[in-house]
Copies of this chain bind each other. A is one copy, B any other.
């Protein structure tokens, strides 16, 4: 595991993605070259109005320029304050933290299932897979959200060239329904050579976990939990495991094997 670095980059670029979504790029980030898909950074807001750091998955990096991107949605107080930071603000970022997605083998069918703000780490995973030589068209990227407004970075995904299926609950874009429905059909057509990767709200992860377990499909889930420390010392972020133990989402996770966590 890479050692986390305490760093003070600036907010280099601030892109408003609409509907309360933002892309923030920080530089110079010493950690940029070390962050793998699935890993996260822990950000101290430059205010005392929220006490803890907030965790954000790495959405992309540019190691040469030492740039690191996160994508977030305004959810509560923390993300609201984050969204109000001016360009150029000095940040306090700890990372990389947590476990990584394991890249699929070339002969595996990679199925990525993103729900809502679970999208950024999977976009990063897809991008890295392609960089490592995985054929873009064979990356089955299922992206579900409540409605059109929650589907972001479409042109970026198009450029990547992945096989993108968009699903919204209200049908305002893409298929109507739950993202797990087309995933299920896909799994039924393809066998155990599939590798599943998923990040999103807990009910969705639970559904994906169940779908996979029933078909003995392997893969990984990225979880969220409130994280006081983010680097493993407080034991605040644990989730129960199927073997009866606890694991820290910030250290053993956020990426867990399918079947490992008692969802």
Residues in chain A within 8 A of chain B (CB atoms): 47-49, 86
Query: How far, in whole Å, are A49 and B47 apart by their CA atoms in the complex?
Result: 7
A48 to B47, CA, bound (A): 7
The secondary structure that dominates the A interface is loop
Q: How many copies does the complex hold?
A: 2
Nearest CB in chain B: distance from A50 CB, A? 9
Could you tell me the distance between the alpha carbons of A48 and B48 in the complex, rounded to whole angstroms? 6
**Shortest distance in angstroms between A31's beta carbon and chain B's nearest beta carbon?**
27
Which residues on the B side are within 8 Å of A47 (C-beta)?
Answer: 47-49
Which 7 residue pairs across A and B have the least CB separation, nearest first?
A48-B49, A48-B48, A47-B47, A47-B49, A47-B48, A86-B86, A49-B49
What are 7 A-B contacts defined by CB distance under 8 Å? A47-B47, A47-B48, A47-B49, A48-B48, A48-B49, A49-B49, A86-B86
| Residues of chain B contacted by A49 (CB below 8 angstroms) | 47-49
CA distance A48 to B49 in the complex (A): 5
Write the chain B residue with the least CB distance to A48.
B49
Q: How far is the CB of A185 from chain B (nearest CB, A)?
A: 50
* A47 to B: closest C-beta gap in Å: 6
CB-defined contacts of A86 to chain B, threshold 8 Å: 86
Roughly how many angstroms separate A47 CA and B48 CA in the complex, as a whole number?
7
Bound complex: CA A49 to CA B86 (Å): 18
